[in-house]
């Protein structure tokens, strides 16, 4: 029979968490907060488009005037699943991973980079479709593209911020 000391770590997961980096602070922490807020904006945009797609409603396009054509095209769904729904899932996952990365989970930082990279490539493809295949633009899609491009910039910027340098600046 073993007796644990109060405050002793009991599991391997707890030991790994204890040895992981402390919560992100300074510039890195600020960038993760911005990423979470952007992801919420992207989630709202993608959810709106998903609901419109599933209910058969047209999204109101006041600036570009091409929403109906873009969102009604064959490129708006893959295998019967709205592309916007996939976007909503991606934005929710970005929100979750950025929040976990903010609290020092290094795996979340890696997964965030990978996911945003995939989102960036998808965004490039969808912009190509709008510009060169459909010759129409959806302002909601362009908003999502802007959010994804900004998230990509944040992920790249995070690669240049070293935790030890960020701590030295605060001291």
- Residue 148 resides in a domain: yes
pLDDT in tens, 10-41: 455 544 554 456 777 789 999 999 999 999 99
d(CA 137, CA 131): 7
Q: Is residue 20 part of a domain?
A: no
pLDDT in tens, 68-101: 899 999 999 999 999 999 999 999 999 999 999 9
In a domain, 60, yes or no: yes
Instruction: Give me the pLDDT at residue 3, please.
Output: 53
Cα 11 from Cα 26, distance rounded (Å): 31
Q: Is residue 7 part of a domain?
A: no
The total of structural domains in the chain comes to: 1
In the 8-state DSSP scheme, what is residue 56?
Answer: T
Mean local confidence (pLDDT), 116-126: 98
**Which residue range is the domain that position 154 belongs to?**
25-162
Contact assessment for residue 28 and residue 163, using Cβ atoms and an 8 Å cutoff: yes
CATH of the domain at 56: 1.20.1440.130
- In percent, the amount of the chain with pLDDT more than 70 equals 81
* Other Cβ atoms within 10 Å of 95 Cβ, number: 19
């Amino acid at each position: 029979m073993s007796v644990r000391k109060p405050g002793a770590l009991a599991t391997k997961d707890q030991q790994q968490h204890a040895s992981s980096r402390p919560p992100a602070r300074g510039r890195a922490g600020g960038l993760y907060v911005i990423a979470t807020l952007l992801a919420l904006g992207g989630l709202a945009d993608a959810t709106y488009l998903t609901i419109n797609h599933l209910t058969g409603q047209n999204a109101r396009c006041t600036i570009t005037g091409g929403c109906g054509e873009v969102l009604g095209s064959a490129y708006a769904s893959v295998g019967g699943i709205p592309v916007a729904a996939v976007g909503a899932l991606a934005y929710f996952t970005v929100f979750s991973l950025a929040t976990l990365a903010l609290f020092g989970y290094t795996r979340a930082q890696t997964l965030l980079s990978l996911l945003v990279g995939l989102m960036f490539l998808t965004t490039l493809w969808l912009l190509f479709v709008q510009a060169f295949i459909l010759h129409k633009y959806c302002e909601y899609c362009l908003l999502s593209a802007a959010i994804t491009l900004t998230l990509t910039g944040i992920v790249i910027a995070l690669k240049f911020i070293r935790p030890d340098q960020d701590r030295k600046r605060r001291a």
